[in-house]
Amino acid sequence: MSDADDRDGKLGQDLPGDQALSTVADTVPDADSSDERALGALVRAEQVRGLFSKGYLPYIVNVVNASLVLAVLWPSIDHVVALTWLVLFAGVATARIVFQQAYHRRAPAPEAAPRWGNLFAVGSALFGSFWGVASILFFDGDSLDQVFLIFVIGGMCAAATTSAASYPPAFRAFVVMACVPAVIRFAAEGDRIHGGMAAMVFLFALGTSAIARQGARGLIEAVTLRFRNAAMTERLQETQGELRQLNERLELRVTERTAELEHTLAKLDRFYTLLNQTGAAILVADATTLEVLELNDQVNTLVVGATIGSKLPMLGVASTLATEADWRKMLDGARDVVRTVEDVQEDGSRLRAIELTITVRTVAQRDYVLIAIRDISARKSLEAELQQNGMLASVGRLAAGVGHEINNPLTAVLANLQLVEAALSPTDGELRRLVGDARMGAKRIRDVVRDLRTFSRTEADRSTPLSVNSVLESCLSIANNELKHRASIVTELGKPPNVLADRNRLAQVFLNLLVRAAQAIPVGDAQRNEVRVRSTENDGDAVIEISDTGAPIPPELRAHIFEPFIATRGFGSGTGLALSICHDIVRDLGGTIEVHSPSTGGSRFRIRLPRAPEVTTTPMPILSPAIERRARVLVIDDDPMVARVVERAIGDLHHVEIANTPKEGLARIIASSYDVILCDLMMPDMTGMELHADIARRVPAAAARMVFMTGGAFTNEAEVFLERVPNLKLWKPFEAKELREVVLLALGQ
C-alpha cells in the first residue's frame, strides 16, 4: 500500500461517528442528486475534526507568549492588572484543553459537528479578546513597546491560519477580537505613524482572513472529492467484477473450443488456422513435463526462443515463472489463472506489458496447459494517458482559479508601488531602488500567472496569427523548473514569421518537446548538458529546433517515433502518446516535424510551420491633448482593495466614484451619467457580462462606455464575450500608468 493510500485509510477511520471511508458510498449522494445534506454534514465534520486535531500546543503557545509579553513590558505596566490578565488567560486555555478532551471522548456524530465548531469559535474569540485587550491595557508611550506588542498579536493571528483555518468562523472570531481593539487603539492616537500602524494591522487581518478562507475552500473541495471518489471506487469495483465474469466466460469458451479441436485430428488444420488468427500468442504444453507441444505463429513475436519441445521455465515469459518449481506451484490444483506481468525485450530498448491467460485442462486422462499471451502495452498506455489528462484538466482549472485570485491583490501591489515610486523624490535613492526591486518581483509573479493561463484555458480551437517566440518563451518559463536541474538552457530566438495556430495547441507541442528533452537527461549534471531552443525563418516559413545532449533515441524506434504508444523511455515512464500528439498538431497546422538522433547521443526535433496570412490592421488613433479632461469615472469591483487602487491612481485627474456590488453600480448608472465605467468581469452575485447586458437594455449609451477589468477569462462564456464586445479591456494586474492610458483611450472614444 502506498503512503497516499495509507493516509486516505487513516482519514476514513477517523471520521466522526466511527464511520469508515468504505461506507461513504452508502451515505454520500450521487453527483446528480439534489439532496447533498449528508455530504455537507460529513464535510463540516471534517472541518471541525481539523480544529480538534492540532493538540494542545496552540493553547500552550498562547499562554507562553502572553507570559513573554508581560516579561518584556513588565517595567512599564500595572503589575496587578498584568497578572490578573495572565491568570484569566491561562484559565481560558485550561478550559479549552478540557473542552478538546471532551470532544475526543464523545466522538460526536457529523450532525453535531456545527455545535462543537461554534463552541470552539467562542473559545477562539475569547483568546483573541485577550490579545485585543492587551493592545489597550499595555499600550504606553514607548513606540518600541508598541511595535513589539503589535508584532506579537500579528504572530498570533498568523499562527491561527494553521490552527483554526479549517473552520473559518473560528479563525475570524480570533482575528477580529485580536485586531479590532488594536486598530481602534492605534487609530485613536490621531497621528500619522499610529494611523499607519492601525491601517497595517487592519490590512494584515484582511490578508490572513483571505488566506484562511482560501485554505478552507481547498480543504472542503479536497474532502468532498475524496468522499465522492469513495463512492466511485465502489461502483468501479462492481464494474470490475462484471468484467471478470465476462472474462471467465470468454476463457471458458476458449477452453471448450480447444477440447473440441483436440478430440479430432481431422480438424487439426482448421485449429491451427484459428489459432493464428486470434491475435494472441498461444502455446500448448504438457502439464506433467512442462514441454511445449504446440504453438502458433504469433508466439515468435512475443516469446524469444519458443519452439516445440522447449520447456516452459526456459522461455522467460514472466519473472515470477522462471523455474520449474514456480510452474509446479502455480499449476498445482489450479484450473484457471490469469496473470498480468511486464516483459522486457532482450535489447532492453523497450518495455511492454504482457497478459498471460493460463488454463489447465484434462483431455483423455492427460493434463494440458493452454497459455494465451497478449501484448496489452497499448491498453496500459491509454489508461495512463486518460489518468494524466484527468489530472491535467484538474490542475488547469486550479491554475486558472488561483491565477484569478492572485491577480486582484497583485493589481494593488503593482499600482501602489508605482504610485509610491512616483511620490519619492530623486534624493530617495535607496528607497527608489527598494521599490523598483519590489515592482520587478511583482511583475515576475504577473508573468508566471499569465504563462499558466495559457495552459489552463478550456475554450475550443481558435487559430490566430501568433508570435512563435512568444509561445516559446511561455513554454520555457513553465518548463524551467524541469530543465534547470538537468541542463543549461540556451535560446537562439531569431525573427521567424507569425504562424496561424491555436496558442494552446502550439504550446502543447513545444512543452511536450521540452519535457521530453529534460527527461532524456539525468538530474545532477546541468553544467555538462544542454537544451537548446532555436527559432528562425527559412524560405518564408517559421523553423523551430529543440535539441538536447541527453540519451539518444534507440535506432529501432526512430522510424516509429511519431506513432502512438511508442515510449522512448520504456513502459511505466511515459504514455508513448506525447510525440504522436505533437506530430498530429503540427500536421494539422500544415507543417512538418522531424527528428535527428545520432547514436553518439542527443536528439534534435525540427518543426517547420507555414507563415500566417498578412492581416491588415487599423492604426490606433492618437489622442489629442484636449481629451485629457477631468471626467466622471465609476469603478465597479467587488474587491475594495482594487477599487481603492483605481481611485488612488486616477483620483487626481478625474472624479472617481466606487460601487462595490454590481447592483449598486447599476443604480448609480441609471441615476447619473458617467464618462467611463471601469467594471470587473468576474463578480460573485452578478458578473460583468450580466451587468453589461442589463445596462445595454436600460441605458444603451452607458454600455458603450464600459471598460472591463479582468484577471483572466477562464470560462468559455467569458472568452467568447470578451471577443464579441468592442469595449476596451484592462488586464489585471495592471499598473497606474496602464490604467491612466486606458481611461484616456476610453475618453477619446
Other C-beta atoms closer than 10 Å to the C-beta of 618 total 5
Judge if 486 and 529 occupy the same domain.
yes
CATH number at residue 367: 3.30.450.20
Judge if 602 and 630 occupy the same domain.
no
pLDDT value for 27: 45
DSSP annotation of 528 reads G
Of 204, 147, 145, 216, the C-alpha closest to 179 is 204
Judge if 592 and 684 occupy the same domain.
no
Which residue positions in the chain have pLDDT lower than 50? 1-35, 344-350, 458-460, 570-573, 617-627, 749
Cβ atoms of 637 and 691 within 8 Å: the answer is no
pLDDT value for 267: 61
Q: Determine, yes or no, domain membership for 454.
A: no
Write the single-letter amino acid at 61: V
Distance CA 32, CA 436 (A): 52
Distance CA 466, CA 463 (A): 9
Final residue in a domain of this structure, among 342, 375, 408:
375
Cβ atoms of 63 and 71 within 8 Å: the answer is no
Of 536, 519, 542, 513, the C-alpha closest to 605 is 513
Give the dihedral of Cα atoms 503, 506, 509, 515; nearest 10 deg.
Answer: -40
CA distances to 328, 330, 451 from 320, rounded to whole Å, are 12, 10, 48
DSSP annotation of 496 reads P
Q: Please give the residue range of the domain that contains residue 365.
A: 264-375
Q: Determine, yes or no, domain membership for 520.
A: yes
Judge if 594 and 638 occupy the same domain.
no
Collapsed DSSP state (helix, strand, coil) of residue 221: helix
List for the chain the helix, strand, coil content (%; round to 5): 60, 15, 25
pLDDT value for 5: 41
CATH number at residue 722: 3.40.50.2300
Distance CA 7, CA 222 (A): 13
pLDDT value for 10: 36
Judge if 32 and 106 occupy the same domain.
yes
Judge if 608 and 629 occupy the same domain.
no
Three-state secondary structure of 360-377: EEEECCEEEEEEEEEECH
Q: Determine, yes or no, domain membership for 244.
A: no
Judge if 209 and 287 occupy the same domain.
no
Q: Give the pLDDT confidence of 244-290 residue by residue, as tens digits.
A: 888 888 888 888 887 776 676 566 666 666 666 666 777 788 878 88
Judge if 219 and 109 occupy the same domain.
yes
Q: Determine, yes or no, domain membership for 273.
A: yes
Half-sphere exposure of 507 (CA within 13 A, CB side): 23
Radius of gyration of the chain measured on its C-alpha atoms: 34
Q: Determine, yes or no, domain membership for 411.
A: no
Q: Which residues, in sequence order, are CB contacts of 260 under 8 Å at separation 6+?
A: 267
Cell triple for 674: 458617467
pLDDT value for 265: 59
pLDDT value for 229: 79
Cell 502518446 belongs to which residue? 577
Cβ atoms of 458 and 502 within 8 Å: the answer is no
Handedness of CA 570, 573, 575, 579 (dihedral sign): negative
Final residue in a domain of this structure, among 580, 614, 648:
614
pLDDT value for 13: 36
Final residue in a domain of this structure, among 593, 614, 635:
614
Main-chain phi, psi angles of 339, to 5 degrees: -125, 140
Q: Determine, yes or no, domain membership for 498.
A: yes
pLDDT value for 545: 95
CATH number at residue 592: 3.30.565.10
Q: Determine, yes or no, domain membership for 188.
A: yes
Measured N-to-C along each axis, helices 113-137 and 57-73 cross at an angle, to the nearest 10 degrees, of 10
DSSP annotation of 604 reads E
Cβ atoms of 281 and 303 within 8 Å: the answer is yes
Judge if 50 and 102 occupy the same domain.
yes
What size, in residues, is the chain? 749
Judge if 662 and 608 occupy the same domain.
no
Collapsed DSSP state (helix, strand, coil) of residue 93: helix
pLDDT value for 531: 92
Judge if 610 and 586 occupy the same domain.
yes
Judge if 725 and 679 occupy the same domain.
yes
If one counts the domains in the chain, the total is 4
Distance CA 394, CA 225 (A): 12
Cell triple for 554: 534507440
Write the single-letter amino acid at 644: R
pLDDT value for 4: 36
Q: Determine, yes or no, domain membership for 347.
A: yes
Cβ atoms of 315 and 404 within 8 Å: the answer is no
H/E element holding 411? helix 377-423
Collapsed DSSP state (helix, strand, coil) of residue 734: coil
Cβ atoms of 678 and 702 within 8 Å: the answer is no
Q: Give the pLDDT confidence of 10-23 residue by residue, as tens digits.
A: 333 343 333 433 43
